[in-house]
Amino acid sequence: MLHDTGDASLFDSTLVAAAVAAAVSVTVTYFTGRRAAQDRQRELFAAAFKSVAEYREFPFIVLRRDGADPAGERKRISTDLSQVQSDLNAHKARLQIEAPIPGAHFDRLVAGTRLFCGNAIHEAWNKTPIESDSQIHAPDIDQNELARLDREFILSVKDHLSLLPSWARRIGRWAFSILPEQLRERLAPLG
């Protein structure tokens, strides 16, 4: 006696459709969650970098303080500086937990910034405050030596937020770096 396989194939088709729907649902849920986590982390990285930038402004803030009210300015500037220091420490702790590799780069960025700008802030307190508009232009404080630490942190953040694993991005950068210079110049605008 021959069996009718119509019901079995309908049952199989239903199972396949359900499995595909479940796979799509899980995939969409994963990528939606990943996107939300990345957006949250992107905000964290931006806030952390902003705190570093705020700290770097203090040599200039100290030089531009109001010389007519030294006690008030000391209080105002030291209070603001304490808040920025607190923000830096909070970001360091949070990044170590949320994103250890960018967190390590952020630690180095903060340490280098504190070393360089801390000395510049100290020197600025020992100088006479700026008194005229002609002196207001950026004083001779060159923070370019911190640019390498900035780049390393930003690159680690890009690696962290990328869909590609960070090791694949590092290999790609290495491969790009060994290309002849003419070829690198032609490819640089692409990526």
- The pLDDT tens digits of the residues spanning 70-107 come to 999 999 999 999 999 999 999 999 999 999 999 999 99
Greater model confidence, 67 or 163: 67
- The mean pLDDT of 31-47, rounded to a whole number, is 86
Number of structural domains (the chain) is 1
Nearest-angstrom CA–CA distance, 55 and 88: 9
Tell whether 189 is covered by a domain: no
Greater model confidence, 87 or 177: 87
Cβ contacts of 60-65, under 8 Å, gap ≥ 24: 60/124, 60/138, 60/139, 60/141, 62/121, 62/124, 62/125, 63/124, 63/127, 63/129, 63/130, 63/139, 64/129, 64/130, 64/136, 65/129
Phi and psi at residue 54, to the nearest 5°:
-65, -40
Instruction: Kindly tell me if the per-residue pLDDT of 119 is higher than 50.
Output: yes
- Burial category of 71 from C-beta neighbours within 10 Å (exposed 0-12, middle 13-18, buried 19 and up): exposed
**Token output for 79:** 């209070």
Nearest-angstrom CA–CA distance, 90 and 93: 5
Q: According to the model, what pLDDT value does residue 179 have? A: 81
- The mean pLDDT of 147-175, rounded to a whole number, is 88
Q: According to the model, what pLDDT value does residue 189 have? A: 66
List b or e across 146-177, with b for residues whose CB sees 16 or more CB atoms inside 10 angstroms.
beebbebbebbbebbbeeeebeebeeeeeeee
Q: According to the model, what pLDDT value does residue 77 have? A: 97
Tell whether 63 is covered by a domain: yes
Tell whether 175 is covered by a domain: yes
- Of the candidates 134, 126, 129, 118, the one whose C-alpha atom is nearest the C-alpha of residue 63 is 129
Instruction: Provide the percentage of residues in the chain whose pLDDT is more than 70.
Output: 92
Tell whether 99 is covered by a domain: yes
Instruction: Kindly tell me if the per-residue pLDDT of 108 is higher than 90.
Output: yes
Provide the mean pLDDT of the chain. 86
Tell whether 61 is covered by a domain: yes
Tell whether 115 is covered by a domain: yes
- The mean pLDDT of 170-177, rounded to a whole number, is 83
Instruction: Kindly tell me if the per-residue pLDDT of 166 is higher than 80.
Output: no
Q: According to the model, what pLDDT value does residue 57 have? A: 94
Where is average pLDDT lowest: 27-41, 77-91, 162-176?
27-41
Tell whether 28 is covered by a domain: no
Q: According to the model, what pLDDT value does residue 1 have? A: 47
Tell whether 170 is covered by a domain: yes
Neighbours of 68 (CB within 10 A): 9
Q: By residue range, what is the domain housing residue 74?
A: 46-130+140-181
